[in-house]
Each structure stands twice: as C-alpha cells, then as structure tokens.
Structure 1
Amino acid sequence: MMDYCGLITSQKEAVPLKSIEVEVEVRDHVATVVSTLNYENKEDKPIEAVFVFPLPGDAAVCHFSAKIGQKEIVAEVKEKQKAREEYDDALSSGQQAFLLEESEQSPDIFSLSVGSLPPGESASIRLEYVTELAVQADEGLRFCLPAVLNPRYQPQGSEAASVQVTSVPASLVPYNLSFSVRVSSPRPVSKVESSCSLDPLQYLNTEQTQATVKLAAGHKFDRDVELLIYYKDAHQPTAVVEAGQASAKPGTLMGDPVVMLSLYPEFPQAVMSSVAPCGEFVLLLDRSGSMSGACMESAKDTLLLLLKSLPMGCYFNIYSFGSSHEHIFPKSVEYSQETMEEALKKVGEMTANLGGTEILRPLKDIYSQPCIPNQPRQLFVFTDGEVGNTKEVINLVKRNSGSHRCFSFGIGEGASSALINGLAKEGGGHAQFITGTDRMQPKVMQSLRFALQPAVADISVKWDVPKGVAVTVLSPPITALFQGQRSLIYAQLTVKSHLISRIFRAAEGCVTVKYSLAGHPSKSQLNFSLKPAEDTGLTVHRLAARTLIRSLEMEETRRTRQQNEGVKKKVVEHSVQSGVSSVFTAFIAVNKGTGKAIQGPLVRRNVPTGLRECALFDDNMSYYNSADDCEDIHGFSYGECEEAYDGITVIRPAQPPRDPFLQLVSLQKASGCWERDPALAAALGKTSEEVENTKPSGVNQEVWATFLALIWLHGSKMEAQDEWELLAMKAASWLRAQNAPYATECVEAGNALLGFNVQKDALGL
C-alpha cells in the first residue's frame, strides 16, 4: 500500500523534494523552460528518490544536470537499457547517479530517479525543455506547465503497465513552486492571462514587445499552471533560420542550418461561402467516474449546443464510454427534429457512471461502421485524458485517419496533453484544452466551425531555394489545413561548405503550399531570408529533432520487427546527436567523484505528485470528510481510492440553475426556428401575454418567436457570440426561406419588447 503522504520517513519527516523553481522564456510562439528541483535527504540513511511528473507531450527535453554541493554533473543521452545499466552499476559501486526517462506508453510522463543521496546531502536537478505554444480559439497562445498528474486508467489486455504514481491531495504536496516568465516578440504583448494567480505584468521596454510575469506565491498544485499570451497583430506567417551547431559535423541535423516555418493559410471567401455544410458528426463522450460533477454537466451543455448547431441534411451519432461503452443509435442517423430530440433526451440522462477510461473499444466500434457517401466523418472526442495506453489509442486514430477528421477536447486539470494533441494531430483535426474556469462551449464551437470547413485535399509543399542548397523536410506531411490556423514545417538546409557564407549572407528562399479546397486549387506562399537569426541557441534544431523523433516513433509501431530495429536505431542516433529525449533513450548522469561504498541498502522513496481534491462518497453514501477518513475506512490512501476502490464517486458542488441562454438554446428546433412557447417567454424574461400582445399583425407565430430569440441573443449575449453564432445563422437561414414580409416590423417590435436596439442587418437577413 502506498504511504498516505507519499515520500515520508518513519518519523514522518519531510520528503527529499523541497522545492521546484521554473523559469520560462517565450519567444513569439516557442517556449524554453528551465526547471530546478531541489532535494534534501534528512534521513539517517542513503536514499533513492523517485519522482514521476508530467511534461507537455510535445516537449523536447534537451538538458539534464545535477549539482551536488559545488560540483555539477551534466547528463548524457544514451540508449535506454545502457543508461539503466549504468545507473544500477553506479549505485552498486557507491556512486551518486541520476536517471531521467520517458514513459514508454505516454510521452507526457517522465520518471526521475535520484540515486544514492547520502544522509544530510542536498542536490539540485536542472531540467530544460523547449515546446511550441498552441493557438487558441481567441488567438491567444497557450503555455501549460502540468502541475497535476492524475492516475491514468490502464485497460485490461493493453500493451504495457501504467507508470506507478504516488498521489496525494493537492493541498498536501510537501514542496513549493516558484514560476516566472519572460515574453518577447516582434509584436507588442497585449496581455497575459492565467487560471492561477499572477503578479501584475511588467513591461521591459516602451514598445511593450518584452514583458515579465510571475506566479503569485502559494500555488496549491490543484491545477496546471496555464498561461494565455496575446500579441497585437498576432499570427503572421514567419520563418526562422537557425545556424547549425559549430561542433557538429556538416551534413547532419545538428550541423546544418534548420528552418522553422509558421504558415497561416487564408481560404478564399468565395469558395468558403459556396460550400454547403454536410458531414457525419460522431460525438464520443467520456463518462468515467473522474468526469462527474461540473465536468459532466458542462459536457452535456456543450452537446446541447453542438446538436442545435448542426446543419440540416447531415448525419450524427453519440457514443459514451467508461469501462464499457454505449451509443444512442445503432448507426449514424440523419439529423432531424425527431432524431435530435431523441439524442437530447438520452444526453440529459447521462451521468459519469461507466467506471474506468477505456477509449480504445468505442473507437474501434466507430471505425467499424462504414462511412456515409458524401458525408465526411468528423469525430469529436471529449475526455479528461486519464488513460494509460496513450500510444495504442493514437495509433488506432492514425490508422483510420484517411476516413475522418478527429477533434479532441481535454477536460479539467491533468488531462494528458500527449493524448489530446496526438488524437488531433494524427486525425487531421484540432485539439482544445478546457481547464480552470474555462467555458467549454466557445472552444468546441470553434472546432465545429473547423469541422464544417471542407477538407483540404492534395496538399503539396514546394521549396524554391538557391542553387546548391538541398532541403530535407523533417516534419511529417501536412494532412490538415484550417482557416487561420498555424501549420509548422521544419526543414534541414544542407549546403556545400564553400557556398555557405555566400548563400546564407543575403540569399532568400520561398515555400509554396498548394492544395485543393472544395475542388478549387489554392495556395499559400511565404518568402523568407536565409540569414540565420541571432540568439536562438539551438531551439529550432531541438524542436525539429523532436518532430523527427516523434514521426519515427509513430512509424516504428506500424512496421515489422526487423524494420522496427532499423527505425529504433535511427531514433537513438538522432536522440543522442541532438541531446533530445525519446522513448528509446534516457538521460544519465553519474558523479564519479564519490567512491565510498554504501553502508546498508538504499531506501527507495516515491515523491508524491498532486491530485485533484474532491469530496468522496462510498456505495452506501458514507461521506469522507477528509483523506484520513478515506484511509481509515478502507485502508487505501486518498490517491489509491480513485484508482482501486470501485465504489468511489467524485462529488463536486451542486450546479446553479440553468441560465436563460441555455434554456433558449434548448428550445430551438432542428430546422433553426423557435416556436412561441411559455418556456421561450420565460427565457426572454417576459410573460406569454407580453410576447403575444406585441406580435405584429399577420406575422406567423414561429417567425415572431424566431425574431425574438435572435434579437435577444444579439442584444444580451454578444460576449458569447462564438457559442451561438452557428445556430443563429441557421435561424436566419430559416427566416429567409419563409420570405416573411414583416422583417422590419418584427425587429422594431422585438427591440421595443426586449429593450434592445439591434439592427436588422446584424441578424444576417
């Protein structure tokens, strides 16, 4: 059984991990993160401390070192088995050693072993990684420092055992966190927001292109540290060329210059407006126990908005899953008033009562269904991401990527970034994260707008560079493009040595992305200078290496055993050369200055990580006031209960009554119209008599109700327009189809009744 407080001594003294210091440097859309973990052994015997912690799934871990007293030991990247053997040999011979390795099942989980820390000794571990920042629905760039690692559900029969994690309630994590960020960009920094408490933003120059911000003291480890960074005139196409490493051999990835291209395609409006929306929309909802409470209610409200916003003529189905899975219809059905009502009734009855998080089986079930001709399949996955077989799931989506696009949503603190980003990347879709006080609805509706865009086909990339320059693209082929969303391309530029200075001093290159959009040929083009940027370090090279390594790792899962050995060899070679972690390598550092034999065996201590806190009830509805109650009653630790005790249900505070907006949305018909109904009048804040008495003479009841609903949305909910824009467009389309001659009178009467001044043109009529 795990100790309740994780890493403690027999005398209940403090754990070795004392504090974590994190410094982040953000340059445009790339972040370099340096974390320092400070350990201290207060026991009277040498210990081995093991700390399992999360990192962003696409991070390139590129530096690992340890400082013992005044001596610093820098780790090397080696093949994983060799690194483990070296670590074990060092410990057995009385030397201090440090091992950092990536989980084989999920690339966002790392394990750090601090070996042979003598009594009274302190050690500082320095970890550095670089990562790209994702573009959000409101054009902010998202940086996330995962501070919560939830237990990952491991389905029966999966490929490998889950990483073992010692979890304690967030308020009992026995170490503190300091966190500071420096932001710089060619464009002014507008603001930095966070779900955590921040000290005020400090600008470092009058142009406001550089700024710093810090996390307020007292972070409780009950949530990830998420920052949203906003620039003025953000997201312009850019190219950064980075010079190679001087000590590396020319012709290798680290020895040659590397270019990072950020492309933001803009689709022709004439083509976009001419495409009739259609598709098969398959919604897959996580109903495992960890989704209960506010997460589940928010997901159900989101499904309501999604279903109301679907276009007439499309097809849809809703699956839900836990340890088992269910579907509302045996196969996808045509969207109509009847099928929409049946689906909403079933959604209203859903609870988080299906046990663990077994996502593989429902995905296989969905993929076994034949696609509907001329109805492109769009898969929406809603989950808190607590799975242990991440790579199996992503590989399944990859194998079926030719038949659908996958849009993924990570719900709550601690959702696996590797899973959420991997589903979208391999499924040619888009990923979103909903944390803290975020509303799920605007992010999901942005993804629905993406899903309604026609799939881009025949994507090709053409390079135009000076003679003597060879381009090797390191990124996997682009499989998805969305209006205004970033696409990243990394490429190695190889030049004959005698041409380098001439070419890279003044030459330019050009990249052209050609594609077909709804049968119309289109292209995006970017001209860029080949002159290397200054002061970039090796950030671009490391991100490029990480991209290449990830592509090879995905390739390894789809090949024969003999072929796999070749792929593994390539991964190890690139990982060692670039100093970037991979699933087949590990960082190893040995302090060879200590030669004293260890007296007695090493004591292994697992350093705890934060777990979401919540109230707990058992099957008999016995309330646990605290984690102590939980352990006293069942003999499990608080963290173990969520994993091992089947009867536990997570209870969160009761939800407030449904707001008028959602009530109004729930009354809309599949066709887009509203009917005059007492519930509609109540949602508008009026009586049925007031609604009836102000109706212009001769106006149809449905037309009048639809005008009122649209006026109310435009008059009182403009701040949430992203959420209702699609269903309002459907309503306006319905009104136009009625050829109603009283539009002006209805708008005037509606404004008078509701107290607004909405213009008719604003309604899209």
Structure 2
Amino acid sequence: MITSIATLPPEECEPVPDAGLGTLVTERGNLPLESVDVTAAVSGLIAGVEVVQGFRNPHDVALEATYVFPLPDRAAVTAFRMEADGRVIEGTLKERGQARADYDQAVAEGRRAAIAEEDRPDVFTIRVGNIVPGERVTVHLTLNQPLPYEDGAATFRFPLVVAPRYIPGTPLDGGQAGDGWAPDTDAVPDASRITPPVLLPGFPNPVRLSLAVSVDPAGLELRELRSSLHVVQEEGSTVRLQPGERLDRDFILRLSFDASTSLALVPDDGEGDADGDGTFSLTVVPDPAPATAAAKDVVLVLDRSGSMTGWKMVAARRAAARIVDTLTRGDRFAVLSFDTVVERPEGLGEGLSEASDRNRYRAVEHLARLEARGGTEMLAPLEQAVALLAGSDGDRVLVLVTDGQVGNEDQILERVGARLAGVRVHTVGIDRAVNAGFLGRLAGLGSGRCELVESEDRLDEAMEHIHRRIGAPLVTDLSLKADGLDLVPGTVSHLGSIYPGVPLTVLGRYRHPRDGALTVHGVDGAVQPWERRVAGVRTDSPATRAIWARARLRALEDRYAAGDHSLEGEIVEISLEYGVLCRFTAFVAVDSKVVAEGGPGHRVIQPVELPSGWQSPAVAAAPMMMTAMAPPQPGAPAGPPGAPGAAPKFAAGGMGGAPRGVAAGGSAPRARMAPPRPAPVAAPAAARELPRAELGEELRRLRAAESLGAADQLRYLQDLGSRLAALAVHLGGHAELEALARDLQSGTDVDALWQRAVDGLEALSRSGGRRPFWKR
C-alpha cells in the first residue's frame, strides 16, 4: 500500500518545460532508480556481465523501491549483492517462498534487504527495502550468457526495457501478485508482476545509463564490430555507449569472426581436477553446402495487433511476403493474420493451399492490406496452425512473425507445446525491445530458429537466414555417442537439426573422463549417414557450468509450463546445487542492522521507458494492452467505437506514478474494445474451492508482523480471525477454517495463538497443492 507523505514546498519544485504531463523535478530527484551500469567481457562465444543498479531515496521517509527489468533470456544469474552505507551484504540463493519470507521479515523489522526474482526467462524484479532518506543503495548482479552465432557472426544482445505486454484472460479475485498496471488473470496469473508503469513521452531522462563491452575473440580473427541501435564509441578492444542514451531499446553488438568445431571439457574444480566431474560444450560448424529443396507444408502466422504499429507492421508485412515468395509449386501453405480475431486471405480455402503463382499472389495481396489494430490474442491462431499441420505427412513448418509482447507465454506453451512434435517452428521477432525469451522458447520446442529483427535495415539479412531455415536442414535425426566420457543421463541438451551457417551447440554433464571425445551421428539431405567426431580439450571456463545449468533449468521450466508440475522439486534442486537463479528460487540479501523502525513508509515501483519506436500510450498502447478481452463470438455484436477501456497505468515520474488506468496529467484514454467476456457464474457456495493464494498472502503478512508488540499482536490475531470467519461463510462452511477463526478470536495466550495461526495457515494454504510460484 502507498502511504501519503509530506508535500514538498513550492521552492523545492520547478516545472520542466519540455516534460510530459504531470512531471516535476526536485533537488533530490523524484524516482528511486538513479543509474544502471552494465559491464560485459566477451570471450569467444561467452560473455560475462555485471549489472549494477543504483537506487536513491529522494523522500522524507524510508523507501521500498521495486524495479522490473530485462536480462538476456539465456543468461545465468550466479551472484547478487547489496551495498549501502559502507556495508556489503552478499545475497543467498534460496527457494523462492523462503527468500520472500526472509525479505519480508527483514523489511518489517526495519533492516535493509534486497531480493532478486525471475518472472520470465528475460523479465526480473528487484525490490530494495528500507532505503533511508537521502541514502544510496547499489545492487550487483553477476551473469554469464552464451552468444548465438551464425553466418560468421556472433551477437551480443542486452535488453534494457520491459515492453508493455498484452494481457488476455478474465481478472482474478483476491490479492494481486505484484504492483503493475495489469490485474492478474486466469491466462496470466502474474500479470501484475510483469507490467510496470510506463513513463509518458517527453519525460526527461530519469536514469543514467552506462554500458561497456570488452571483446576478446579468443584467438580468432575479429573482422568487424557493428552496433545496431545505439551510438557507440570504440576505445581499443572496448565498445562504450555514448552518454545520454536511454533505457528504451535493446543494445545489440555483432562480432564477425570464424567459429570452429570444438569440444570443451570443463572440470568442476578447474583443470587441476581433470579426472573429476564436469561440463562439456560441443560446437559443430557445418561445412558450406546448399540445403535440399524438399516439398514442405508451411503455415505463416502474422501478428497485426496494436503493438505492431509503425515500422514494425511495415517490416512484418515485408517479412511475411518474402516468406510466401520463397515457396515453390511443390509446397502447400496457409496464411493466418491475427489480432483479437484470426483472418485468412480470400480465395485460399480453409486448409492448406498449393503454392501456385495465383495463390501466392492472393496471400501477398492480403498481407499488403494489413494494418495494426486490436489485441494480441496469439493462442487461437497458433492452435489453428498446429491443427492445419497435424494431417500433413511431409516436412511441416510453422513461421510466427510477431513482437512477442504477450503475458500468457506459459498458457500458450501448455496448450500447443506438446503438439509441436514433428513441426519445425521458426519465430521472427520484430521490435527494438523484443520478447526474445518467449520466441526462443517456442522455437526451441519446435526445433527451429528464432530470428530477431530490430530495424528495417536488418530485415533483408534476417529474412535471408529465415529463407534457409524454412528449407530442409542439412542434417537431421541427430544422436550423440561418447568415447571415453561417461555422460550423465538426462543432462544433454536437445540436439535438434543442423542448418546452413548455424553451428550445432550441445551442452551436458560428464563423470570421470579418460581421453574424451564425442561423435555426432545423423542423416544428411540425401538420406545418407553423416557423422562428425570431435576430440575433447580440457579448459578452465567456470561460465560453461553456469550456462549449462541455465539451459537445463529453462528446458525443465518449459516442461513445467506445458503441464508437468512434478518437475518443481528437480528445478529447485538444480538451481540451488549450481547456484543459478530460476523462477522457483530467488537471491536475497539481508542486513543485520536496523535502520528504519516500523519498516518503509513509502513504496514506489520504478516506471520504465516506452520502447523506442512505439507510439504514445494514449494512441497505441492502451488498446493493445486491454485485459479481459476476448475475440468476438460468432453472431455477437461488435463493441461500440469509443467504448471506455481500462488503460494501463502510465507514470510521469512523480511519486508512485499516476492512478491505475489514468495517464499522468490527463484522463483515461478511450479505445475500441472487443465485447467483454460475460462474468463467470458463481459456483454454489458448498462447491467453492479454498482460496489458497489469499490464505498464503495472510500467512506472509502474519510472518511480516512478528516484530509487533504483544498487545498489537493480539489485536492482529483477532482481526485475522474475523477475516477467516467471513471467508468461511463465503465458502459455504469450512470446518478447519472456522475452528482456526474461533481460536484466534477467543484466546489470550499470544505466543500460543501466533503459532496456531502460522501452523493453521500453512496447512490450509498447502492443502490440495502448493501455491503457484509467482504468488509465494
């Protein structure tokens, strides 16, 4: 809850002439995040990165600051620490629920604390509690990331802003998982954690950004360095951002050099323990060879939603048309364009059509007329695409062209992931702040490729890559045979297929090697046996172990998202054993010193930039980000133009941002909406499920209040008992809940009652299953 604070006197404020509506500046600033410093060291195809975020409290009371930010989706976060007032507190990786409980307790007791959590493979949240007035606190994240490589170039991509995401589904009752502008829904139960408020255009640059990348080609000839979206300056082997750049688009650096086939064996304890367990990293660079032109069935799915407005829609239309033009008469295809509805070109029928000149012309003509509009209802077209390919006996290909800005990634993977077996899925992400994590996960499930396009200038190069991927791969049916290496079962990453210009990369764990070699077997385009044997070389590269663990965790998390919830224990175990952050764990740093009696008096979630190239929020973002929207049902009337909508919360940078649903300094934008879903019919009271999320939230608050005095604790317990009694009535009766409520309202032994409340809430919140990890 945001509490009121003292009004600043007029002499401490002055208007900013060129700022967005509602902004102001003070001598102490008005937002908690002051700086973001990124330092990366690239060595070959691995980058080690340290991210330092600087927070400052400009208010007159203790502050808790929340910052939602992106990191590379394949990066392994391995260390976390907090520094304040000359004190350095190292973070500890714990199960997420325990880390949250430790953080909440420390903050309630007035101690400094910080917690880092993963909400998506590329979206993270940091909370820093009890920053005292005028104080600066820095948090440090250490991570390692692999660099994708193809066609003679590696790419270092570092995202700098979380773009607004479309949130489908029906809003959920009860407490929210976070403080973002979108309510949690049945399709995106943690929507409020991944939707930070957005700064209005024109707001002065609120965060000082520095980013430096030092490059070591690791013995290879570095031919060229290219920065795609930012202005940079080179100082020897280091590339730096010029001062004044904003956190509104990805930083992209491309490094041209020739990779080579290799097998790195990395012992856990360094080269001195060559006979111990370790991690291997296999890279196989394919020989130059054209892919065979086998007949194929292709379904192209194009996103035309509101977030694709502007250059992105132009690029998406061009990309889709290029894909259609590459098809030959032996191919069959379908084109699906979508926003809140799915449309197909006229005259092409309901199934797959022959890729004749006439049919390809009809498809390109349809694509040329598309304009951005509506919401990003991505699940329905993907399900239709999978159904179209289900009856195909040939080479099946699905191509998705989108910015990927949706919040229901897990729902999509759960519904279509298992049906992608035998389908090659290629994703084309078009944006300057693309949702690379989701697009990479989807392509990985379909053994395809993810191509990211950050500008129209990059489109032709990217589409050349996609053209080759859509064609048949060079080698399929891959398998791995070990010679002298005892591979640990279940640890080897997915092999996939080998495509022209794209090295095969395989990671895994081994036990007690002797000499060590791996042989990759497969079948080439002429259906002939193919193999490549690579001898191992021992190296000392601790990052390899972390990168393997991150890849393994991401694969397990995707299986969890697809419905296999039995994997949670294994995910937590791997995360803690290898010290790599995942969605079920969190880094927490807790100081022992009490600095703010009573905890923070003010809480602020840091607003983020509107991504570069996006239109102003009142014009474009609001209709794209509507929640609780559904495609029109057959026969249903269209929604009235100008119907009032629940626009996202945008902030002008003031204290805590604008009210939910109102752009700072103005009224709520109005947008055209699809008809809302009808309200769900309530189940009979006796059939209602126990709301474990709400009970878990009561347990969290109870633990956070343990530092209260005895009299305050007794009052708290009596209030808790009254809430639980009311909940039991709402449920139509619940014996355990009613008994706990009676005990808390009638007892006088505070210590015994407190333990009774903890035990009772733990049992009730666990009954029938554990709470979702984003609510713990």
Q: Distance in 2 between matches of 1:316 and 1:558?
A: 27
Indicate whether 1:228 and 2:254 are aligned. Answer: yes
1:350 pairs with 2:370: yes
2:535 aligned with 1:552? no
**Equivalent residue, structure 2, for 1:698:** none
Determine the structure 2 residue equivalent to 1:694. none
Q: Name the counterpart of 1:391.
A: 410
2:312: which partner in 1? 295
Aligned to 1:608: 607
Amino acid at match of 1:480: S
- What residue in structure 2 maps to residue 319 of structure 1? 336
1:554 counterpart letter in structure 2: D
After TM superposition, give the deviation of residue 633 of structure 1 in Å: 14
Q: In the alignment, residue 134 of structure 2 is paired with which amino acid?
A: G
Q: Does 1:304 align with 2:325?
A: no
1:683-733 per-residue CA deviation (whole Å, 9 max, x = no partner) reads xxxxxxxxxxxxxxxxxxxxxxxxxxxxxxxxxxxxxxxxxxxxxxxxxxx
Measure, in 1, the Cα distance between the counterparts of 2:439 and 2:277.
33
Could you tell me how far apart the structure 2 residues matched to 1:641 and 1:509 are? 67
Q: State the match for 2:694 in structure 1.
A: none
Alignment-mate amino acid for residue 602 of structure 2: V
Q: Deviations over 1:464-506 (max 9, x none)?
A: 116xx555562333122212312221222222xxxxxxx6xxx
Task: Give 2:386's aligned residue.
Answer: 367
Corresponding residue to 2:470 among 447, 451, 465: 451
Deviation at 1:183, TM superposition (A): 0.9
Match of 1:479 in 2: 496
Q: Does 1:33 align with 2:57?
A: no
Q: Distance in 2 between matches of 1:101 and 1:479?
A: 30
Q: What is the alpha-carbon distance in structure 2 between the residues aligned to residue 558 and residue 246 of structure 1?
A: 37
Opposite residue 152 of structure 2, the aligned amino acid is E
Q: Is the contact between residue 82 and residue 88 of structure 2 (CA under 8 Å) also seen in structure 1?
A: yes
Flag structure 1 segments of 5+ consecutive residues without an equivalent. 204-210, 496-502, 621-625, 649-765
Task: Choose which of 152, 158, 162 in structure 2 pairs with 1:145.
Answer: 158
Distance, in Å, in 2 between the alignment partners of 1:281 and 1:161 is 34
Q: Which residue of 1 aligns with 2:243?
A: 217
Contact 1:166 1:639 in 2 (8 A): no
User: Structure 1 590/322 Cα, relative in aligned 2: closer, same or farther at 3 Å?
Assistant: same
State the alpha-carbon separation in 1 of the partners of residues 195 and 86 from structure 2.
Answer: 33
Partner SS state of residue 262, structure 1: strand
Instruction: For residues 569-612 of structure 1, give each alpha carbon's deviation from its aligned partner in whole angstroms, at most 9, with x where no partner exists.
Output: 121111112110111101111001x1355247531101121112
Label 1:118 to 1:8 Cα distance change in 2 as closer, same or farther (>3 A).
farther
Pair 1:68 & 2:67 matched: no
Partner amino acid, structure 2, of 1:522: P
Instruction: Call closer, same or farther: CA 1:35–1:331 in 2, change over 3 Å.
Output: same
Deviation at 1:298, TM superposition (A): 2.0
1:463, 1:85 → 2: CA distance?
A: 45
Q: Distance in 2 between matches of 1:6 and 1:408?
A: 40
Matched, 1:166 2:197: yes
Ranges in structure 2 where 5+ consecutive residues have no aligned partner: 5-19, 170-185, 621-640, 643-649, 674-776
| 1:7/1:15 contact within 8 Å kept | no
Asked if the contact 2:32–2:57 (Cα under 8 Å) also holds between the matched residues in 1, the reply is yes
1:549 & 1:639 partners in 2: Cα distance? 44
Identity of matched residues, %: 26
User: What amino acid does structure 1 have at the position aligned with 2:450?
Assistant: A
SS of corresponding position for 2:528: strand
- Which of 336, 341, 354 is matched with 1:334 structurally? 354
Compute the RMSD of aligned alpha carbons.
Answer: 3.4
Structure 2 match to 1:515: 522
Cα deviations by residue, 1:273-294 (Å, 9 ceiling, x for unpaired): xx44311121111011111222
What is the match of residue 590 of structure 2? 590
Deviation at 1:318, TM superposition (A): 0.7
Separation in 2, partners of 1:245, 1:5:
57
Shift of 1:412: 1.2
Q: Which amino acid aligns with 1:420?
A: L
Q: Note closer, same or farther for the CA distance 1:83–1:8 as it changes in structure 2 (3 Å cut).
A: farther
Q: Deviations over 1:648-702 (max 9, x none)?
A: 9xxxxxxxxxxxxxxxxxxxxxxxxxxxxxxxxxxxxxxxxxxxxxxxxxxxxxx
Out of 344-353 and 472-481, give the one that drifted further: 472-481
Which residues in structure 2 correspond to 1:580-729 (within 5 Å)? 580-592=580-592, 594-596=593-595, 598-599=597-598, 601-612=600-611, 613-615=614-616, 617=619, 636-637=662-663, 645-647=670-672
Q: Which residue of 2 aligns with 1:541?
A: 545
Q: Give CA deviations for 1:13-66 in whole Å, capped at 9, x if unaligned.
A: 421211111100111111111011111112110010000001111111111101
**Is 2:207–2:246's contact at 8 Å kept on the other side of the alignment?**
no
* C-alpha distance 310-595 of structure 1, shift in aligned 2 (>3 A): same
Distance 2:453 2:68 in 1: 24
Amino acid at match of 2:589: A
Deviates more, 1:75-84 or 1:8-17: 8-17
1:112 offset after TM fit, Å?
0.3
1:187 aligns with 2:201: no
TM-score, normalising length from structure 1? 0.73
Q: After superposition, give the CA deviation of every residue in 1:436-461 in whole Å (9 maximum; x if it has no partner).
A: 35332331232122211258443210
Cα shift readout 1:264-323 (whole Å, capped 9, x = no counterpart): 233766xx4xx4431112111101111122211222222332222211221111101112
Contact (CA 8 Å) 1:409, 1:434: kept in 2 or not? yes
SS in 2 for 1:350: coil
Q: CA deviation at 1:425?
A: 1.1
User: C-alpha distance in 1, partners of 2:157/2:111?
Assistant: 36
Match of 1:123? 137
Q: Any idea what SS the aligned residue of 2:36 has? A: strand
> In the alignment, does 2:126 pair up with 1:112?
yes
Deviation of residue 174 (structure 1)? Answer: 0.7
Specify whether residues 110 and 361 from structure 1 end up closer, same or farther in structure 2 by C-alpha distance, changes over 3 A only: same
Tell me, yes or no, if the aligned pair for 2:38 and 2:211 is still in contact at 8 Å. yes
Letter of the structure 1 residue corresponding to residue 287 of structure 2 = E
1:93/1:437 CA distance change after superposition, 3 Å: same
State whether residues 524 and 530 of structure 2, in contact with CA within 8 Å, keep that contact through their aligned partners in structure 1: no
Deviation at 1:427, TM superposition (A): 0.9
Q: Tell me which residue corresponds to 1:570.
A: 570
CA distance in 2, matches of 1:455, 1:327: 32
How many residue pairs get aligned? The number is 601
CA contact (8 A) 1:22 1:33 kept: yes
Q: Do 2:233 and 2:242's aligned partners in 1 also have CA atoms closer than 8 Å? A: no
For the Cα contact (< 8 Å) 2:299–2:389, is it kept in 1? no
Q: Secondary structure at the match of 2:65?
A: strand
Conserved 8 A contact 2:248-2:433: no
1:390-409, aligned counterparts within 5 Å?
390-409=409-428
Contact map agreement 2:425 2:448 (CA 8 A) in 1:
yes
CA distance in 2: counterparts of 1:591 and 1:436, whole angstroms = 45
Is 2:476–2:498's contact at 8 Å kept on the other side of the alignment?
no
1:244 equivalent in structure 2? 268
The whole-number CA distance in structure 1 between the counterparts of 2:367 and 2:452 is 22
Q: Secondary structure at the match of 1:116?
A: strand
- Are 2:200 and 1:175 equivalent residues in the alignment? no
